[in-house]
Amino acid sequence: MQLRFQLLPGAYVVAKLAGSVPAFPMEAKPRALFSLTLTDDEVSLVCEEGGVPASAVCASIQRDWRVLKIEGVLDFSLVGILARITGVLSSKGISIFALSTYNTDYILVQSKSLPAAMSALRAEGYVISE
- Predicted confidence at residue 76, as pLDDT, reads 65
| Average confidence score pLDDT of the chain | 88
Mean pLDDT for 64-91 is: 87
Q: How confident is the model at residue 22 (pLDDT cuts 50, 70, 90)?
A: very low
pTM reported for the whole predicted model: 0.89
Domain boundaries of the chain, sorted by first residue: 4-129
Higher pLDDT, 94 or 53: 94
CATH topology of domain 4-129: VC0802-like (3.30.2130)
Mean pLDDT of 100-117: 96
CA distances from 65 to 20, 40, 72, 78, 80 (A): 24, 26, 22, 27, 24
Greater model confidence, 129 or 73: 129
